[in-house]
Structures are given as structure tokens and as C-alpha cells.
């Protein structure tokens, strides 16, 4: 039974909260998580794990062997976002950093990865403290670069699969804008596939007073943005969900100068590979056609920036995790969920190891605030991941995430 694995966990929670608030105040951009990785490695080492650092740049892997039995991998992502925090919390981030383009940017843990790191560090300590209650091997993976879809693959490319025992299952979780204390998952697809493309539209610059001498890339880009809205609304059926968002449109530097080019930043999310392929083909067709219609001097350039594959939960492993959750949490706290439109590179690890994986969500919003918003029809106004106002409440979020990791691992390891 996994309840024995949770004995004494209260003694770890104050430290987990302190670790979380420290991480929240000191966020780091993707693939630059040196401080975070160092702190995670130190906690694993203190708990008795064999620790390897610098995997895929800043990744950290710990192995705890405790006799014969299955091997379970637990994963947490570490990176923050180029966002200016606006939570007003006493431990809010005021950090800045230089981005890949050399520009100074504010940095904040607006997605909750700091909570993920605190959860896994405390769960690792709890598992180490309760070796008498389980047998097997635990692999703790602190992963960089999830926000750019590169970190999991970087660890795999750096030999992760050969450095540690092959797990029988890979487990991961993410804090979400749901009531704190609630766990939710589902068999099959749980997060979407995602493609981020940078599209450069070319024109011919001229003086703003002489548009007849130009091919105006601003107009071409604007027409392209509007036409791209029809990919989902007119080329996909109502049972083929997808989201296509234009999150960036950049052109020019002065009001009376028609520039030579314009740049569109596009994000596509789907739950089905066939839909994904058709949508990609439609995007390429529209971009090329709008450029040709305007008489552009060059074909557009489409550059893939980020790619996330579907996160696909193994049904049998999900059943096993849910059974363990229901043994340790009230039924009201264990819920089913639909697939999320968010994307994750968590699935890269399971595919690389050839192991089943399970990913679930942990609520992080104050339950009373959430209930009031639900009653008033204002759920859409609550801060979501990536919002400058997003930060999970400490309690019961910290406890729930730590207990969930230990409990899920116990579904394979408990004696």
C-alpha cells in the first residue's frame, strides 16, 4: 500500500514551500537554468541519489536504487518565461536576463515550473526517507528547456537513455488553473501537438508617399494574417479541433517608410496528426498565394522554431495511477479531464526509453476564488499559465503535488 510511503511527509513540506518561493524569486530562461539545476542536484545528493549534472546543457538526473523491483522515472521541468511578473507576491520575481537576440527581458515563473521542481525535490527526499516502504529504482529527471520544446530532446541527444536504468514507466505532472488539491488525468491524448513557425514575407521598400513604387509587405502580412484565420474555421470540420494563433506581427521602423519585409509568428495546435498535416499544408498554401498575389519579389521563408509532439498517456498505466490516487485522495479530488490545448515535450522521454508514460494536472488556484468565479461565470477571468498574474497558491498545492508523485510512483514500487 502506498500510504506507508507517505508517512512523515509533513516534516518535508515547510522546506518544500521555502524551496518553491526561492525558485519563484530566481527564475531562469530556457537552457540556462544553472542555479535551479545546482539546487536540484544538491537536494538529490543530500537524499542519497547518484547524481549526474549537465545532461543536455543543464539537465539533472538522479538515481536511487533500493533493491529489486520496477524502475520509475519522475520528471520536472525547470525553465521560466520572458514575462514581467505582476502577482504582487512578496516573493515575486524582479529578475531580468538577456535573451537569445541580445535583448534584456524580464523573467518570471509564469507557468509553474518552479512548483514542479519543488514537488520533485521533496518527493525524492520522501522516497529516500521511506525506503522501507518500497523496492525498486527511482530516476528523478530535472529537465531544462520545456518552454522552447528543446530540453527533453537535448537530454536524450546527450545520452540520457544510456546513462540511467530504463524505466518501466515515466511519470510527470503540471500545475494548472484549477482548484488547488484537485488531480486530473485521462488515457490517451492529454496535451496537444504544437508547431511554432516564423514566416518572413518579402516586399520592396519605398517612401511612404509613393506606395506605387513598392510592394508593401505590411499589407501582404496583414492579408495573410486574416486569411490564415480561415484554416480552422473553413478548412477543418467541427470534430477536428485545432487552434491557430498569430502571436507576433513585426514590420517597419518609421511611419513614412514602407519596409522590405514583415515577420509573422504563428502557433498551430492540434490533437490529430492528420489534422496537423492538413493545417500545415493550408498555411503554406495561403502564405505562398498571398505573396504571389501581391507580386512579392521573393517567396516567403517559413522557419520552424518550436515543435511539440502529442502527449499520449498509456491507458493501462493511467488506470494504475488512478487506482493509487483513489486509495490516497478523496474521490472529489481525483477527476477526469479532456485533452488540454497546451503542449508539452514530456512525451519525448517515454518514447526515447520505449516506456509507457502518464501525465496529469494538479490544480493551483485558491479553491474559494475558483468556486466564486465559477458561480459568477468568470472562470475566463482567472489567471492562466503564462499570464503575468499566474502563481499557484502555496497550500494545498505544494502538499498535493508531492503526495501525488510519491503515490503515483508507489503504484509500481510499494511493497
**322-348 pLDDT per residue, tens:** 999 999 999 999 999 999 999 999 999
Output the pLDDT for position 343: 96
List alpha helices for 273-361, DSSP H: 273-293, 315-328, 347-353
Query: Is the pLDDT at 92 greater than 90, yes or no?
Result: yes
Output the nine-digit C-alpha cell for 160: 540520457
**308: number of CA atoms within 13 Å, CB side?**
28
Q: What Å distances lie between residue 257 and 64, 205, 231, 252, 293, CA to CA?
A: 63, 7, 32, 7, 22
Output the pLDDT for position 361: 98
Output the pLDDT for position 304: 96
- Determine the average pLDDT of the residues in 190-198: 97
pLDDT band for position 2 (cuts 50, 70, 90):
confident
Q: What is the DSSP string of 238-294?
A: TTS-EEEEEEEEEE-SSTTEE-SEEEEEEEEEES-HHHHHHHHHHHHHHHHHHHHHT
Residue 311, phi then psi, degrees to nearest 5: -95, 115
Output the pLDDT for position 98: 95
- Determine the average pLDDT of the residues in 195-210: 97
Angle between helices 10-25 and 34-46 (to 10 degrees): 160
- Determine the average pLDDT of the residues in 244-256: 97
Question: Residues near 57 by Cβ (< 8 Å), separated by ≥ 6?
Answer: 31, 144, 145, 151, 154
Output the pLDDT for position 101: 85
CATH of domain 193-307: 3.30.70.360
The full set of domain ranges for the chain reads 2-187+314-413, 193-307
- Determine the average pLDDT of the residues in 201-227: 97
Question: Residues near 106 by Cβ (< 8 Å), separated by ≥ 6?
Answer: 82, 83, 84, 85, 93, 95, 96
Query: Is the pLDDT at 1 greater than 90, yes or no?
Result: no
Output the pLDDT for position 303: 98
**119-157 pLDDT per residue, tens:** 999 999 999 999 999 999 999 999 999 999 999 999 999
pLDDT band for position 277 (cuts 50, 70, 90):
very high
Out of 3.90.1150.10, 3.40.120.10, 3.30.1390.20, 3.40.630.10, select the CATH number for domain 2-187+314-413.
3.40.630.10
- Determine the average pLDDT of the residues in 376-380: 95
Structural Rg of the chain based on CA atoms? 23
Output the nine-digit C-alpha cell for 191: 496535451
Calpha distance 366→370 (Å, rounded): 6
Mean pLDDT of the chain: 97
pTM score > 0.85 for this model? yes
Query: Is the pLDDT at 310 greater than 90, yes or no?
Result: yes
Amino acid at each position: 500500500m502506498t500510504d506507508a510511503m507517505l508517512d512523515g511527509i509533513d516534516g518535508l513540506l515547510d522546506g518544500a514551500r521555502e524551496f518553491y518561493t526561492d525558485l519563484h524569486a530566481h527564475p531562469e530562461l530556457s537552457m540556462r537554468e544553472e542555479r535551479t539545476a545546482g539546487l536540484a542536484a544538491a537536494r538529490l545528493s543530500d537524499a542519497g541519489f547518484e547524481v549526474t549534472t549537465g545532461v543536455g546543457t543543464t539537465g539533472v538526473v538522479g538515481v536511487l536504487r533500493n533493491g529489486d523491483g520496477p524502475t520509475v522515472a519522475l520528471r520536472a521541468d525547470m525553465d521560466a518565461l520572458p514575462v514581467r511578473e505582476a502577482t504582487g507576491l512578496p516573493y515575486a520575481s524582479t529578475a531580468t536576463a538577456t535573451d537569445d537576440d541580445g535583448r534584456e527581458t524580464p523573467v518570471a515563473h509564469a507557468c509553474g515550473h518552479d512548483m514542479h521542481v519543488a514537488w520533485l525535490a521533496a518527493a525524492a527526499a520522501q522516497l529516500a526517507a521511506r525506503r522501507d516502504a518500497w523496492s525498486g529504482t527511482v530516476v528523478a529527471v530535472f529537465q531544462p528547456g520545456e518552454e522552447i520544446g528543446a530540453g527533453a530532446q537535448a537530454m536524450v541527444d546527450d545520452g540520457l537513455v544510456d546513462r540511467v536504468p530504463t524505466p518501466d514507466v515515466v511519470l510527470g505532472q503540471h500545475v494548472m488553473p484549477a482548484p488547488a488539491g484537485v488531480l486530473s488525468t485521462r488515457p490517451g491524448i492529454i496535451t496537444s501537438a504544437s508547431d511554432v513557425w516564423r514566416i518572413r514575407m518579402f516586399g520592396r521598400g519605398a517612401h511612404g508617399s509613393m506606395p506605387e513604387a513598392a510592394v508593401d509587405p505590411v499589407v501582404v502580412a496583414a492579408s495573410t494574417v486574416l486569411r490564415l484565420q480561415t484554416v480552422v474555421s473553413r478548412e477543418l470540420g467541427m470534430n477536428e479541433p485545432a487552434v491557430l494563433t498569430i502571436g507576433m506581427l513585426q514590420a517597419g521602423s518609421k511611419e513614412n517608410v514602407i519596409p522590405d519585409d514583415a515577420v509573422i509568428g504563428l502557433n498551430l495546435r492540434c490533437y490529430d496528426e492528420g489534422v496537423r498535416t492538413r493545417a500545415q499544408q493550408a498555411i503554406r498554401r495561403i502564405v505562398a498565394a498571398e505573396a504571389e498575389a501581391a507580386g512579392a519579389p521573393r517567396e516567403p521563408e517559413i522557419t520552424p522554431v518550436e515543435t511539440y509532439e502529442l502527449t499520449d498517456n498509456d491507458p493501462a498505466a493511467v488506470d494504475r495511477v488512478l487506482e493509487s490516487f483513489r486509495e490516497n485522495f478523496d474521490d472529489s479530488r481525483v477527476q477526469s479531464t479532456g485533452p488540454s490545448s497546451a503542449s508539452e515535450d514530456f512525451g519525448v522521454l517515454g518514447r526515447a526509453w520505449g516506456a509507457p508514460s502518464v501525465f496529469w494536472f494538479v490544480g493551483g488556484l485558491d479553491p474559494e476564488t475558483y468556486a466564486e468565479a465559477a458561480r459568477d461565470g468568470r472562470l475566463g477571468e482567472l489567471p492562466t499559465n503564462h499570464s503575468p498574474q499566474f502563481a499557484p497558491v502555496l497550500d494545498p498545492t505544494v502538499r498535493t503535488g508531492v503526495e501525488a508523485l510519491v503515490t503515483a510512483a508507489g503504484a509500481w514500487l510499494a511493497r
